[in-house]
């Protein structure tokens, strides 16, 4: 593995920069970061809001424009219509200020998201606490595991990573590097090995070594591949064989750039694998993650965290208030004032 070292340094250099910028004032840092990411959406909303609301009266053409903004943020047709409807009911024909409309929008978003914003809580009752990360290909499972492992290590937990993605080329090496970076234990087998067998051994070993948490990386799978979904079900059964209450968390990793298909992903993974929570990645781009509203509305699954970059610290707890404020552009206003 010596050949990896230099690349590692390379990457660590890159991350060190990011860490520096985010760690001293972490709370403010992540909010700004999320706002930065989301500002592309909130920016448009605000821009529209300001340009629209110089007219002062909320009429149909304003609502239509606001509808466009929400649709572009992947809110989905259904949610957009209901938000617009509630704005219409509240303000139709009345004089409104941009602050007021943005405030209402933020309130509406927060109302929907508040019940599902739950940070990932690891009770100290299971040894080890087994967490599966599942999702479609390329959603960011392995990177998210690396970030989670780092956080758990910082909390002083003993963590093991199991490389149950034996299918994708390079997945095992990738996870191994994350294990080295985060200082966690790592268990893997040869590429192409049976993930179920590996999982069984990983749980035994984690138990033997007194691990607090076992993070299981699974292969990416499209939810319409019945065979692959069956394989995932098998992994769940294998975990249950070792510990009836396992897996204690099954987290689906969703890519923020995904559109309405994210709903299907949640639906199928929930039905077949019993997903218990959500982490949304790639919110540092221009994608808005508005689909979270539809997901919160339909499935009421806890949203644990959001990924806002490639650095080891770029995973932050999800809070409805911040997310809503950022989406509605309120945060920027507070900052600029």
State the residues that interact with other proteins by CB under 8 A: 3-8, 10-11, 14, 40, 68, 71-74, 76-77, 136-140, 143, 146, 167-174, 176-178, 191, 222-224, 226, 255-262, 264, 282, 284-288, 291, 310
Helices (DSSP H) in 55-186: which residue ranges?
60-72, 77-91, 98-113, 141-154, 171-182
Nearest approach in angstroms of CB 142 to other proteins is 8
Nearest Cα residue to 220 out of 256, 166, 281, 148: 166
Nearer to other proteins, 79 or 212 (CB): 79
Supply the minimum distance, in Å, between the C-beta of residue 188 and other proteins: 12
In angstroms, the CA 47 to CA 43 distance is 6
Q: Measured from the CB atom, is 129 or 282 closer to other proteins?
A: 282
Minimum distance of other proteins from residue 284's CB (angstroms): 6
Kindly report the backbone phi and psi dihedral angles of residue 117, in degrees, each rounded to the nearest multiple of 5, phi listed first.
-80, 100
Strand order in the sheet with 315-317: 185-187, 159-164, 213-218, 129-134, 249-255, 277-281, 303-307, 315-317
> Is there a contact between 57 and 93 (Cβ–Cβ < 8 Å)?
yes
59 vs 310, beta carbon nearer other proteins: 310
Q: How far is the CB of 202 from other proteins (least distance, A)?
A: 20
| Residue in 306, 305, 219 with CA at minimum distance from that of residue 37 | 306
- Least separation in angstroms between residue 135's CB and other proteins is 10
**Would you say 42 or 143 has its CB closer to other proteins?**
143
CB-wise, 143 or 276, nearer to other proteins?
143
Quick count: other Cβ atoms within 10 Å of Cβ 169? 9
Distance CA 311, CA 117 (A): 23
């Amino acid at each position: 593995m010596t050949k990896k070292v230099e690349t590692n340094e390379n990457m660590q250099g890159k991350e060190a920069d990011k860490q520096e910028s985010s760690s001293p004032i972490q709370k403010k840092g992540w909010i700004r970061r999320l706002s930065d990411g989301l500002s592309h959406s909130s920016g448009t909303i605000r821009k529209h809001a300001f340009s629209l609301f110089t007219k002062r009266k909320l009429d149909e053409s304003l609502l239509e424009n606001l509808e466009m903004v929400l649709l572009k943020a992947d809110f989905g047709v259904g949610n957009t219509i209901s938000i617009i409807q509630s704005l219409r009911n509240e303000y139709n024909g009345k004089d409104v200020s941009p602050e007021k409309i943005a405030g209402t929008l933020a309130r509406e978003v927060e109302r929907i998201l508040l019940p599902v914003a739950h940070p990932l809580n690891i009770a100290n009752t299971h040894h080890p606490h087994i967490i599966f990360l599942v999702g479609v290909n390329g959603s960011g499972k392995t990177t998210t595991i690396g970030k989670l492992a780092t956080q758990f290590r910082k909390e002083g937990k003993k963590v093991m990573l199991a490389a149950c993605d034996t299918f994708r080329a390079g997945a095992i090496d990738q996870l191994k590097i994350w294990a080295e970076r985060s200082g966690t234990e790592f268990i893997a087998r040869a590429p192409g090995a049976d993930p179920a067998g590996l999982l069984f051994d990983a749980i035994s070993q984690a138990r033997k070594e007194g691990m607090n948490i076992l993070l299981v990386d699974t292969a990416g799978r499209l939810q319409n591949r019945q065979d692959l979904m069956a394989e995932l079900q098998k992994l769940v059964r294998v975990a249950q064989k070792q510990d009836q209450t396992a897996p204690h968390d099954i987290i689906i990793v969703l890519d923020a750039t995904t559109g309405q298909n994210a709903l299907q992903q949640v639906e199928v993974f929930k039905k077949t694998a019993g997903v218990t929570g959500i982490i949304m990645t790639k919110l540092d781009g221009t994608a808005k993650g508005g689909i979270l509203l539809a997901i919160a509305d339909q499935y009421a699954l806890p949203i644990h965290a959001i990924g806002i970059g490639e650095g080891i610290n770029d995973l932050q707890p999800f809070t409805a208030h911040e997310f809503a404020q950022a989406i509605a552009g309120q945060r920027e206003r507070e900052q600029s004032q």
